A = this chain, B = another copy of it.
């Protein structure tokens, strides 16, 4: 069984690469579905699960601390229980024994025993801004400065969540098999090159 995992900077096109890789290789594809399964297993809303898992663990500490002064906070906080359920859902996916692409959720850490081909996707700041502007979304109304600050916050939270479960540093190229900079690439043209690289990884003898 071959597992490809994708970690990414916000706005770098990592999710689209994941979907395209799965389509090209005929692999199963997981991304949003993981949140849906955690929500279902725990009887919680998807939105709550997603916000909890993507909250900053450090922000959480502050919120909990503040809540003892200002009353109970209704803001979602990073939940160890949800992190453990996330691990269960990822392990269930691997146990199916089917080739797959998994976007996000630190799947490369949780499933490291399966020797996944782990990709980190990044891009230059202006390329990320351009990609986000092209998407039709509410973020369109943000200024460049606000968007950059939004990127950074999301990426900081991703890095902090990885630190909770691993010594492997988010975004450090020695934490992944391959790190690709999507700046200047058409993702359609990039995907076959990544697929060939993944195949070489799965076929290697060492």
Residues of chain A having any CB pair with chain B under 8 Å: 120, 122-124, 171, 173-174, 176-181, 183-186, 189-190, 192-194, 196-197, 199-201, 203-206
Q: Which residue of B lies closest to A199 (CB)?
A: B193
Q: Which residue of B lies closest to A183 (CB)?
A: B174
**Chain B nearest CB: distance from A113 CB in Å?**
14
Contact (Cβ within 8 A) A197 B204:
no
Given contacts A120-B173, A123-B174, A173-B122, whether A204 and B189 have CB atoms under 8 Å apart is yes
Contact (Cβ within 8 A) A206 B193:
no
Given contacts A123-B174, A174-B122, whether A197 and B186 have CB atoms under 8 Å apart is no
Given contacts A192-B200, A200-B190, A200-B192, whether A185 and B173 have CB atoms under 8 Å apart is no
**Chain B nearest CB: distance from A201 CB in Å?**
8
Question: For A206, what are the chain B residues with a Cβ–Cβ distance below 8 Å?
Answer: 184-186, 189
Alpha-carbon distance A185/B206, docked complex (angstroms): 6
Alpha-carbon distance A200/B188, docked complex (angstroms): 11
Alpha-carbon distance A193/B123, docked complex (angstroms): 21
Contact (Cβ within 8 A) A193 B197:
yes
Q: Which residue of B lies closest to A191 (CB)?
A: B200
